[in-house]
Structure 1
Amino acid sequence: MKSITTTGICSIILLSSLVACSQNNAPSSSPGATQQAKGVKITFFNTSAEVNGVFEDLFKTYHEQNPNVTIELIPTPIGGAQLEKFQSLLASGNPATVANLDPGTILQYKDKFMDLETEKAKYEKLTKPGAVDGALLDGKFLGIPWTAQGYGLLYNKRVVEEATGGTFDPSSVKTRNDLEALFKKIEAAGKAPMIIHGADWSLGAHYLGLAYSSQSQKVEENRKFVEDLKNGKTNLADNQPFNGLMDTFDLLKQYNARKNDPLVADYNKDSTDFAKGNAAFYFMGDWTWSVIGTLEGRDKEFGIIPVPISNNPADYGNSQVAYTEPKLFAIDKSGSTPEQQAAAKAFVEWMVTSEQGQNAIVTKMGLSLPYKDVKAKGTNVISDAIAKYVDQGKFLNIGVINYFPQDYWSKTGASMQKYMVGKTDRKAFTTEVQDYWKSNAGK
């Protein structure tokens, strides 16, 4: 999943203010003040490398309010060697107290982190519906959610409305046929209906990932589906959500503005062309705001609709946008003292509930908090549109991908690319994907 580990992309990914600690709180009134009287130093391992500076400013602010707590950043390079550095800290017996990690990494090293069951009820009250459930790993609360991303078919409101000659109601697209009828109107008006970004991560993780997540509303049932794929108990060729999703992909390919050269995959150009009205829709996520938000001469109003997977409006997936929490805060138990663990819990709570923490995350980092009452205001209108779906419970939990092999998106993404350019047909493509999962049997 493209997330805030990569410059310019996820910036990112939804939202809170919760029992806020104000800037004027005395140190004794902050969470975890009991252990602070002794003085404690904690370390923070950060894989969201492009916002290192924002985190360091937060550490200083927290220290000013809590003089007996010192927080040291352990930075990582953008785009690489992050996991290796994390592993080396573990091997040296000097792990970070708090780690900002992908859920899959936390799951891989689950024995090294605290089970935060005692904190779970608190965060269920603070977060939006489904946020804590989406963060559970093997049923355990091992990481506290702090960012959220969503993706689907982004739309440029001006382009759609000029093509259709009226106000666009996103809820009017309930089926694949609805989407096709809309695409025809847009094309007839002389505009490109659609941009598909041809990178393997977009096709393999984001698009094909919908097939595994739309099997059920429950992550555990989606995990079972994937295990059945591995063991040959389920045949993708006979699977309705998968086939429906690929039927929709055929439609998107047909109306793709990049169909003459679909694998160029120039992320900045695709995002810019969409933002400036050269296409009405764009299969992408709210992280693209890191490109769109700073463009001069762009359009102002954007929204999102789900990717329809059938012609039955009631089918799961037709009215839900994909939604996940790409990063979690986990607390070490392998080498941290009880005092450090208590200080870490208090600091994490402060980051997601205080005015300063929320402002840093939403305004300075440009991300979305999956909390109920966020006072900080960002500029990402796509995130705002996704939040409306989440508030209504209309989201597709794609947490099943946390349990996938590290190469799933590159391998199946390559198969998607071949299908996209017509080098393989549906039958051969389906067999390739099925064979990939069978090769992971027992893993």
Structure 2
Amino acid sequence: MKMTKGTALAVCIMMVLLALAACSKSNTPSDSAGQSPEAQTKPSAKDVKLTFFNTSAEVNAVFEELFKTYHALNPNVTIELIPTPIGGAQLEKFQSLLASGKPATIANLDPGTILQYKDKFMDLEAEKNKYVQLAKPGAIDGALLDGKFLGIPWTAQGYGLLYNKRVVEEAIGGSFDPASVKTRNDLETLFKKIEAAGKAPVMIHGADWSLGAHYLGMAYSLQSKSVEDNRKFVEDLKNGKATLAGNPQFTGLMDTFDLLKTYNARKKDPLVADYNKDSADFAKGNAAFYFMGDWTWAVIGTLEGRDKEFGIIPVPISNNPADYGNAQVAYSEPKLFAIDQSGSTPEQQAAAKAFLEWLVTSDQGQHAIVTQMGLSLPYKHVNAKGTNVISDAISSYVDRGQVLNIGVINYFPQDYWSKTGASMQKYMVGKIDRNGLAEEVQAYWKSYAGK
């Protein structure tokens, strides 16, 4: 679900050679990560060539340097990148590889794509317990697809109400404790103080993906902590057994959206949806809060003259602090590594498993992912340091177990965010009311009844 941006690519390319050269002094994974250095660096019995299909196109160069590093440690293993363009024809290229009978050994894909082609990938159940021990609590459960461990998570992302610490603290005249916002009323009180100080309280990005996938998408995940229960709720929407209009989670979420609309910095023209401008204005203090995710650091982190300290709070959906969602930030593993079983040899599959374990646990792999790519790893014992302070803030929620598992979206049709996002846009500008929004979204799900 992440909308990746290519703005960090130049930085990755410039830094990767120096960074990976520095990391090469450490040829074995960190012992604290529970690895066996011998297993990781022992050469294969014979030459093995792996291919790697990558949909995180903005970091192709970083992966290519990692493949070189791994080959230096394991001379009999060669890994070739199958690149994809940023934002274009990625699924079509993946499908063409399958059709040709030459699938990639390893594929970095959205979970929904892995689920769609689950028969083509290895069931990694035998590896699951090992990764449960290595990963942060809930990370592996969140990556399961139809209850199966088909893909290894390697990046974690979250979203909610980002805040600019300087702007908030100047408005309230003191230190801001993010835990002080427990309810919708708490948020409104804070917004009033910020507005009184002459600043826009919040920025809403008006794109369909932000409104449909990220904001409205929380309505399905708020039903239960169980992804399976949330899937059942969506099936009930399709079959007319459940309705949105009377659903307390939907109602509470939209009541909060009305509050955000009232205090929106873009309320005079809310559908312009200039992602770079919205992110820059927030980073430079023209809005105190911003409904967005940690991926926006690809824009914010490169800006001159921006503020330095940012954090995140959950989107409160009621005035009962104990309600699920009020203390949890939305969180998922948006990309998974899957291993082909349709055309790969047992030797290739074994080598792929070894490489992926090295990638997420070794000093070299962690440094590349966290420092070079600017991403957050859902694993314990990560020594690499990144610059993405928003990811760091989200990690603190993850470490405390305060996350809203949005894994139900892995089972959604690929047009759900554009179709329901268009309805959210109409609601945002007053073309339909709350009942009209519920009816349009309900009609969308009913169109998928039996599918």
Bucket of the pairwise TM-score, normalised by the shorter protein:
over 0.9
Q: Give the partner amino acid of 2:395.
A: A
1:228 matched to 2:227? The reply is no
Q: Does the aligned pair in 2 maintain the 1:35–1:343 contact within 8 Å?
A: no
Three-state SS of the structure 1 residue aligned to 2:206 is: coil
Q: Does the aligned pair in 1 maintain the 2:40–2:358 contact within 8 Å?
A: no
Distance, in Å, in 1 between the alignment partners of 2:446 and 2:418 is 16
1:309 matched to 2:312? The reply is no
Report the equivalent of 2:137: 129
Q: Give the partner amino acid of 1:2.
A: K
Three-state SS of the structure 1 residue aligned to 2:245 is: helix
1:176 matched to 2:184? The reply is yes
Deviations 1:82-139 (A, max 9, x none): 0000001001110000000000000000000000001000000000011000000000
Task: Give the Å deviation of 1:29.
Answer: 4.5
Report the equivalent of 1:188: 196
1:293 matched to 2:296? The reply is no
Distance, in Å, in 1 between the alignment partners of 2:8 and 2:184 is 28
Task: Give the Å deviation of 1:30.
Answer: 4.7
1:237 matched to 2:236? The reply is no
Report the equivalent of 2:354: 346
Q: Does the aligned pair in 1 maintain the 2:28–2:41 contact within 8 Å?
A: no
Distance, in Å, in 2 between the alignment partners of 1:351 and 1:232 is 45
Report the equivalent of 1:7: 6
Report the equivalent of 2:278: 270
Q: How many residues align?
A: 434
Distance, in Å, in 2 between the alignment partners of 1:7 and 1:430 is 35
Deviations 1:240-284 (A, max 9, x none): 000000000000000000000000000000000000000000000
Three-state SS of the structure 2 residue aligned to 1:248 is: helix
Alignment of 1:32-431 (within 5 A): 36-431=44-439
Q: Which has the higher contact order (CA 8 A, sep 6+)?
A: 1
Q: Give the partner amino acid of 1:189.
A: A
Task: Give the Å deviation of 1:2.
Answer: 2.7
Deviations 1:46-104 (A, max 9, x none): 00011111000000000001000000000011101100000010011100000000000
Q: Give the partner amino acid of 1:96.
A: A
Task: Give the Å deviation of 1:419.
Answer: 0.2
Task: Give the Å deviation of 1:169.
Answer: 0.5
Q: Does the aligned pair in 1 maintain the 2:371–2:385 contact within 8 Å?
A: yes
Q: Does the aligned pair in 2 maintain the 1:21–1:30 contact within 8 Å?
A: no
Three-state SS of the structure 2 residue aligned to 1:36 is: coil
Q: Give the partner amino acid of 1:52.
A: N
Deviations 1:369-394 (A, max 9, x none): 00011100000000000000000000
Classify 1:25/1:244 alpha carbon distance in 2 versus 1 (closer, same or farther; 3 Å): closer
Task: Give the Å deviation of 1:3.
Answer: 3.6
Deviant stretches of 4+, over 3 Å:
8-12, 28-35
Report the equivalent of 1:24: 27
Three-state SS of the structure 2 residue aligned to 1:237 is: coil
Distance, in Å, in 1 between the alignment partners of 2:27 and 2:179 is 44
Q: Give the partner amino acid of 1:84.
A: E
Distance, in Å, in 2 between the alignment partners of 1:351 and 1:294 is 26
Deviations 1:298-338 (A, max 9, x none): 11110000000000000000000000000000000000000
Q: Does the aligned pair in 2 maintain the 1:41–1:340 contact within 8 Å?
A: yes
Three-state SS of the structure 2 residue aligned to 1:311 is: coil
Classify 1:25/1:255 alpha carbon distance in 2 versus 1 (closer, same or farther; 3 Å): closer
Deviations 1:330-383 (A, max 9, x none): 000000000000000000001001111001000111111000111000000000
Q: Does the aligned pair in 2 maintain the 1:198–1:263 contact within 8 Å?
A: yes
Three-state SS of the structure 1 residue aligned to 2:39 is: coil
Deviations 1:182-230 (A, max 9, x none): 0000001110000000000000000001100010001000000000000
Q: Give the partner amino acid of 1:53.
A: A
Classify 1:267/1:34 alpha carbon distance in 2 versus 1 (closer, same or farther; 3 Å): same
Q: Does the aligned pair in 1 maintain the 2:24–2:69 contact within 8 Å?
A: no
* Identity between Structure 1 and Structure 2 (%): 81
Distance, in Å, in 2 between the alignment partners of 1:30 and 1:362 is 24
Distance, in Å, in 2 between the alignment partners of 1:221 and 1:21 is 46
Distance, in Å, in 2 between the alignment partners of 1:339 and 1:280 is 54
Classify 1:33/1:342 alpha carbon distance in 2 versus 1 (closer, same or farther; 3 Å): farther
Distance, in Å, in 1 between the alignment partners of 2:236 and 2:28 is 53
Q: Does the aligned pair in 1 maintain the 2:294–2:390 contact within 8 Å?
A: yes
Distance, in Å, in 2 between the alignment partners of 1:33 and 1:305 is 42
Classify 1:390/1:22 alpha carbon distance in 2 versus 1 (closer, same or farther; 3 Å): farther
Task: Give the Å deviation of 1:442.
Answer: 1.1
Three-state SS of the structure 1 residue aligned to 2:6 is: coil
Q: Give the partner amino acid of 2:403.
A: F
Q: Any gaps of 5 or more consecutive residues in structure 2?
A: 13-22, 30-35
TM-score normalised by the chain length of structure 2: 0.94
Classify 1:152/1:38 alpha carbon distance in 2 versus 1 (closer, same or farther; 3 Å): same
Distance, in Å, in 1 between the alignment partners of 2:41 and 2:342 is 23
Task: Give the Å deviation of 1:140.
Answer: 0.1
TM-score normalised by the chain length of structure 1: 0.95
Three-state SS of the structure 2 residue aligned to 1:388 is: helix
Task: Give the Å deviation of 1:31.
Answer: 3.4
Classify 1:30/1:107 alpha carbon distance in 2 versus 1 (closer, same or farther; 3 Å): farther
Three-state SS of the structure 1 residue aligned to 2:129 is: helix
